Amino acid sequence: METYLYFRKFRPATFTSTQGSATQALTAVTAALIGGAVDAAGAKVASATEIASLSVVPADAANSAIGSNYTHPGAGAALTLATSAIKTVADSVITFKSSASEDTANGYTFESGDAITVTFQQGLETSVMYPASSFLGAEATATGSTTLRFKSLKGDGTDDVIVVAHDNTKFEDLVNGINAAISGKNHGGIVTVIDAGDGELKTTKELAGLGIDGMTIVLESGY
C-alpha cells in the first residue's frame, strides 16, 4: 500500500477581535496565528468555508443596529452570529455585513469595544494529501526555509509547492524526516507530516524539535 503524506495549514482553534472602532472588518489574525504573512498566498485565510462560527460580546447594551433574527443579549453576554452574513474574506480579513443595508435579518453592525470570536474549521484548501510517488524534491530556499515540490493534484504541468519555516540549519533533518515517511521507515499508510490546525502543531516524529513555526501551501491554480 502506498504511503500518503498529509499537510494542514496553521490555524488557531479560535481568535478574538476586539473592535477599536466601529468597523465591520475583523483584523485580529496575525502571522503567528497562521504560520505566514496574513496576505501571503498559501498562508492567508481566504475563504468563508474556513469559518465554523462567530459570536459577539457587545460592549454596549443599547446597540439596536442588529439583524431582526437576533435578540440583543446585553453588554457582556455572547450572541451567536450567522455565518451567512460574512461579506468577504480576503487576505485574512473577515468582513461582516451590516444590519442597516447589507443584511437586515442576519447582519450585525459592530461598535467600538465589541469582542468578536471566530472559530475555525477545515475549509477550502486548508489541507492537502499526496501519494509519496508525487514527491518531486526539496530545496533549501533560505537558512530557515525548505521548499517541498509535488506533482500537481490537478495533474497538469505546474508543481504544487509547500514551504516550511523552521529553525536555521535544520534543512537536512527536515529532508531526512520526509524521506523516512516516503520510504515507509517507521511509517505506513497515511502519515501526518505537518498538521498545525486547531492551534496545536503535530508532526511526524522525525520532524519534532526542528522549530517548525510556519507553512504555506500553494497549489496549481484551477482547483
Residue-wise pLDDT for 191-221, tens only, equals 999 999 999 999 999 999 999 999 999 987 6
User: Per-residue pLDDT tens for 22-60?
Assistant: 899 998 899 999 999 999 999 999 999 999 999 999 998
Closest listed residue to residue 7, CA positions, set 117, 134, 92, 155: 134
User: Please, are residues 182 and 133 in contact by the beta-carbon 8 Å criterion?
Assistant: no
**Residue 223, pLDDT above cutoff 70:** no
Question: Where do the domains of the chain lie?
Answer: 13-120, 126-218
Q: How far is CA 139 from the centre of its chain?
A: 24
Query: 127-131 and 115-120 as β-strands: parallel, antiparallel, unpaired?
Result: unpaired
CA dihedral 76, 91, 85, 32 (to 10 degrees): -30
User: Per-residue pLDDT tens for 119-138?
Assistant: 999 998 899 999 999 999 99
Closest listed residue to residue 5, CA positions, set 150, 186, 221, 166: 150
- At 174, is the secondary structure helix, strand, or coil? helix
d(CA 130, CA 190): 9
- Read off the pTM: 0.92
User: Per-residue pLDDT tens for 136-195?
Assistant: 999 999 999 999 999 998 777 789 999 999 999 999 999 999 998 888 766 668 899 999
Per-chain mean pLDDT for the chain: 92
Specify which residues 190 forms β-bridges with: 4
Find the distance separating the first CA and the last CA of the chain, reported in whole Å: 27
- At 155, is the secondary structure helix, strand, or coil? coil
Rounded mean pLDDT of 90-112? 95
